[in-house]
Amino acid sequence: MASNRSRIAAFAEDCLDSYQEYSILDDICTVIEYDDSQHQGLTYTGVGKRITLPKTVFADQDRDTIGIESDIGKAAFAGERNFLLETIRQNAIAGAIDEYSMASLDQDDIVDIVDEHRFQHLFVPRQHGSDADGVERLCRTMHSYVDTGNLYLDTGDTSVRVHIVPAGSAMPDNRAYLLNHDKITTVQQRKRSADDPDEMELLDEYRDIGAGERLMLYVGDDPEGEAGYDFFYRVVLSEPAIEQHGAASVRVPV
């Protein structure tokens, strides 16, 4: 069991490294670490998933989990991004944030909005079919450049990072979103400050693994049998607080 613990701890560390590599949460909003004396009254949402892995994976000397850690990091990143975008979408529907409409995809209109409110990020949904379809054309036809693998729009005085998000549950309608990192705030819990997940029998010997981390990894026995470990990974965030001009919705033609 001791050898399994060390390998599971290494697995958890690799998952955390992957999450930190992919996560953009600190880039797109202000993240505050949870403080029990200040943040108890907030509403929190856990974003994650349960998976089962064979115990033999961790009993073997050469742990063969290549790719799983990366998948978990990507999934956690996508979950927290989608959670933030859905919050902004609901604010747009409620009329709580500015909304702009464009008769055509025009660079000058975007520049005017960005210059007025100092937005640093633009999220657009990737459309199915040709790359020229829908709002993705917004970042294909405007002046842009690539730096360290990221796409930016050059708006003159500043640059706006473009995030192209798969269409669907993350961005279900024909909206693009502009964000100001300094005016969107969320509180992120650590494993040690969060309640244990419901409907999961945790193994006591693994409870302290990653206790202070933002990506929480819980370990239990597979409820379907004794051959596997039941893993649950998640991030826990408060409902984002959006200040005036912290985000804007942009309706553009298809």
The reported pLDDT for the residue numbered 157 is 72
Instruction: Provide CB contacts within 8 A for 4, sequence distance 6+.
Output: 55, 58, 59
The reported pLDDT for the residue numbered 1 is 44
Q: Are 215 and 19 in contact (CB under 8 A)?
A: yes
* DSSP element (H, E) containing 165: strand 159-166
Check residues 69 and 116 and name the one with the higher pLDDT. Answer: 69
Are 100 and 179 in the same domain? Answer: yes
Are 101 and 154 in the same domain? Answer: yes
DSSP E strands in 26-158: the ranges are: 30-33, 44-54, 98-101, 121-126, 144-147, 150-154
Burial 187-196 (b: 16+ CB within 10 A, else e): bbbbbebbee
Are 229 and 197 in the same domain? Answer: yes
What is the Cα–Cα distance from 233 to 196, expressed in whole angstroms? Answer: 11
Are 62 and 146 in the same domain? Answer: no
Residue 144 has pLDDT above 70, yes or no: no
Model-level pTM?
0.87
Check residues 144 and 102 and name the one with the higher pLDDT. Answer: 102
Report how far apart the first and last C-alpha atoms of the chain are (Å, whole number): 57
Are 101 and 80 in the same domain? Answer: no
Are 38 and 134 in the same domain? Answer: no
The reported pLDDT for the residue numbered 132 is 40
Residue 81 DSSP symbol: H
- The 10s digit of each residue's pLDDT in 153-210 is 777 777 888 888 876 767 777 788 999 999 999 999 999 999 998 878 899 999 999 9
Q: Token pair of 6, please?
A: 């060390």
The reported pLDDT for the residue numbered 166 is 78
Are 148 and 161 in the same domain? Answer: yes
Are 14 and 80 in the same domain? Answer: yes
Are 107 and 30 in the same domain? Answer: no
Q: Report yes or no on 199 lying in a domain.
A: yes
Q: Report yes or no on 91 lying in a domain.
A: no
Residue 236 has pLDDT above 90, yes or no: yes
**Phi-psi region at 137: left, alpha or beta (left = phi > 0; alpha = psi -120 to 50):** alpha
The reported pLDDT for the residue numbered 136 is 56
Q: Report yes or no on 15 lying in a domain.
A: yes
Q: Are 193 and 40 in contact (CB under 8 A)?
A: no
pLDDT interval class at 230 (50, 70, 90): very high
Q: Report yes or no on 118 lying in a domain.
A: yes
Over the chain, what is the mean pLDDT? 84
- Other CB atoms within 10 Å distance of the CB of residue 84: 25
Residue 52 has pLDDT above 80, yes or no: yes
Are 246 and 165 in the same domain? Answer: yes
Give the domain extent around 16.
2-86+187-238
Q: Report yes or no on 148 lying in a domain.
A: yes
Q: Report yes or no on 217 lying in a domain.
A: yes
60: three-class secondary structure by DSSP? coil
Q: Are 76 and 235 in contact (CB under 8 A)?
A: yes
Q: Are 53 and 230 in contact (CB under 8 A)?
A: no
Distances (CA, A) of 177 to 93, 106, 148, 226: 13, 15, 22, 47
- The domain tally of the chain equals 2
Rounded to an integer, the average pLDDT of 239-251 is 94
Are 129 and 10 in the same domain? Answer: no
Rounded to an integer, the average pLDDT of 89-108 is 83
Residue 108 has pLDDT above 90, yes or no: no
Residue 55 has pLDDT above 80, yes or no: yes
Are 120 and 213 in the same domain? Answer: no
Residue 60 has pLDDT above 70, yes or no: no
The reported pLDDT for the residue numbered 172 is 76
Residue 145 has pLDDT above 80, yes or no: no
Q: Are 191 and 210 in contact (CB under 8 A)?
A: yes
Check residues 204 and 144 and name the one with the higher pLDDT. Answer: 204
The reported pLDDT for the residue numbered 2 is 45
